[in-house]
Structure 1
Amino acid sequence: MKYTNITVAGSGVLGSQIAYQTAFKGFNVTVYDINEEALERAQDRIINLTQRYQEDLGASEEEVNSAYNRISFFYDLSKAVSHADLLIEAIPEVVQIKTDFYKELGKVAPEKTIFATNSSTLLPSQFAEATGRPEKFLALHFANEIRKNNTAEIMKHQQTDMKVFNEVIEFAKAIGMVAIPLYKEQPGYILNTLLGPFLAAATYLVMKGISDPETVDKTWMAATGAPIGPFGAYDVIGFTTPYNALIEKAKTGDKETVKVAKWLKTEFIDKGKLGRESGEGFYKYPHPHYMEPDFLKN
């Protein structure tokens, strides 16, 4: 494996998970975010992950502590990438924010550094020129709770060097992922191409007054045997990324998307209901109703 030092830019829900999973598999990891406050929140998230790895994967205390000790934290971008073989970007799903970030990153990162975006809906070709190294840039997308939902979608764009593409596939395998290569760009990759319409359909059922979140989830779970329904999934994903993706889609003139984005913002984001991480979304945590033994009973 060529890569040894990995930088993760953006320490939110998924960025923190990417960082910790990578460190857990033995890599040196640097977490970058914009200020000390953001990094303090990241440290709290990662400390919580050490407990999850013990509970979910049976990891030992020594293993989780060793992984944590392989992570360093910086809010100075040039220091954060000074030794990076690979940088994984997991910053907000807003085109201008990502574009500005890549322009700055390209100025300070070593020539050897490969850039990968974890964007769930945007295409790497949208940012390739801003990176200043389009041949060393591609998408590397993870699912939430990556210690359990261990997929990594590796998507090239037309200018991506195939050597880089194959190296990132091998890296994904090295950190315990099921590597899923995409040879052409597709908004939403495979996972979100399937998941997006699913969540949208569930949302419309509730917004139009046809049903309520728990009934929709109960229907899906009882009929398919799935362990979680669409609104439980919303809570796991969090509301910020879907909201930002909806705002970008709304710019195309899709009026229904505008309504959904407004609803998520006013009913959830503005009220601090951000999903499981905040303690409340469509359900209250740590004991959401859909996980109770009697949820699927009449």
Structure 2
Amino acid sequence: MSSLKRLTVLGPGVLGSQIAWHSAFKGKTVTVYGITQDTVDRCRTAHEQYAAVYRSELGAGDVDISATRQRLAYSTDLAAAVAEADLVIEAVPEIPGVKTAVFEEMAKLLPPHTLVATNSSTLLPSDFASATGRPDKFCALHFANMIWAMNYAEVMAHPLTSRETLTEVTEFAVEIGMVPIALRKEQNGYVANSWVVPMLSAAQTLVTNGIATPEDVDRTYLLTGGKVGPFGMIDMIGMKTCHNVLSYWGSVSGDAQMNANAEYIKTRFLDRGLLGLQTGRGYYEYPDPAFERPDFLAVPDIAVVPDLVTLMSPETEDPA
């Protein structure tokens, strides 16, 4: 059993809010830190939504939900938020400079025993180890969106991570109901995102370049037996995270298509305040997205053929 009883989550966004709620649901005492009161308030609202999800999908009762709420605290004061933490999980935006700044600010505030983990989805723990001020007590612990259903946690060390840190962090993951995925060496993208990000980028390219609609891309995935297609996944991950990942790696690699995909998401979604599932609208509208409707994969009436042919005809102008 780990000694990690008190958790602080830095960053109350889509995944940070899920990590906090789920950890509290599993018995941990949790403080959520947000840089502004607005971000904290949005996290509180998300937690009320998760209460409903845990009732319907996990069978949580009133006692469970009440106990979870009692284990949660919220703060905009970083020093106070980490003052008693046994473990801090960083879940701020997937921008290296932002993460580094947070680690450097936090380093002087942490108790000596506190372990630190990054929930980065594509970046390496060695990128930030020195900024934490305690590289031996630092590793990656990456969760999946919809943590209550996709309950795995990827654990990745950097060269200076101690065995004791890996033991405690992996035990913590098991204690909150996660299947630990042990990475044998550092890898950008970890396990899941090493294949998810290329898939989502390829799907986005099809839409950015006017090849197919998001719905049709998702149909080709769902008809193989999947439950959520690439654009449903993008909505769930959140437009901000998807944009940040595509923009960063597009710049690093000089990939013009990846940069174009990032710009597409920015202009059509972020600039309009559409963040995906978080705001109820992205590629789909929620809580009743089209891909969950019974007719989404139905064979259409033959009368739609002329419209489809018009879309495919070379002389048809691209509406985008």
Q: Same fold (TM over 0.5)?
A: yes
Alpha-carbon offset, residue 76 of structure 1 = 0.8
Indicate the residue corresponding to 2:249 in structure 1: 249
Distance 1:18 1:53 in 2: 13
Moved over 4 A (4+): none
Once the two structures are superposed, what CA deviation does each residue of 1:228-249 show, in whole Å capped at 9, x if it has no partner? 1111111111110111111211
Indicate the residue corresponding to 1:230 in structure 2: 230
Once the two structures are superposed, what CA deviation does each residue of 1:170-200 show, in whole Å capped at 9, x if it has no partner? 1100000011111211001000001011111
Taking the TM superposition and a 5 Å limit, the aligned residue runs for 1:33-72 are: 33-72=34-73
Taking the TM superposition and a 5 Å limit, the aligned residue runs for 1:107-118 are: 107-118=108-119
Name the larger-Rg structure: 2
Indicate the residue corresponding to 2:318 in structure 1: none
Contact 1:50 1:65 in 2 (8 A): no
Distance 2:250 2:196 in 1: 18
Alpha-carbon offset, residue 13 of structure 1 = 0.9
Distance 1:267 1:190 in 2: 30
Distance 1:162 1:267 in 2: 46
TM-score of the superposed pair, with normalisation by structure 2:
0.91
Indicate the residue corresponding to 1:88 in structure 2: 89
Q: What letter corresponds to residue 250 of structure 1 in structure 2?
A: G
Alpha-carbon offset, residue 35 of structure 1 = 2.1
Contact 1:124 1:138 in 2 (8 A): yes
Q: Does residue 12 of the first structure (1) align with residue 13 of the second (2)? A: yes
Give unpaired runs (5+ residues) of structure 2: 300-320
Taking the TM superposition and a 5 Å limit, the aligned residue runs for 1:87-236 are: 87-222=88-223, 224-236=224-236
Contact 1:82 1:110 in 2 (8 A): yes
The 3-state SS of whatever aligns with 2:108 is: helix
Once the two structures are superposed, what CA deviation does each residue of 1:56-103 show, in whole Å capped at 9, x if it has no partner? 101101101111110111111111111100000001111111111101
Distance 1:251 1:209 in 2: 23
Distance 1:4 1:279 in 2: 34
TM-score of the superposed pair, with normalisation by structure 1:
0.98
Alpha-carbon offset, residue 292 of structure 1 = 0.3
The 3-state SS of whatever aligns with 2:140 is: strand
Alpha-carbon offset, residue 297 of structure 1 = 0.5
Q: After the TM superposition, which of the residue ranges 19-28 and 36-45 deviates more from structure 2?
A: 36-45
The 3-state SS of whatever aligns with 2:103 is: helix
Q: What letter corresponds to residue 115 of structure 2 in structure 1?
A: I
Contact 1:117 1:139 in 2 (8 A): yes
Contact 1:90 1:118 in 2 (8 A): yes
The share of aligned pairs that are identical, in percent, is 46
The 3-state SS of whatever aligns with 2:73 is: strand
Q: What letter corresponds to residue 208 of structure 2 in structure 1?
A: M
Alpha-carbon offset, residue 162 of structure 1 = 1.3
Indicate the residue corresponding to 2:27 in structure 1: 26
Give unpaired runs (5+ residues) of structure 1: none
Distance 1:293 1:89 in 2: 39
Distance 1:251 1:207 in 2: 18
The 3-state SS of whatever aligns with 1:22 is: helix
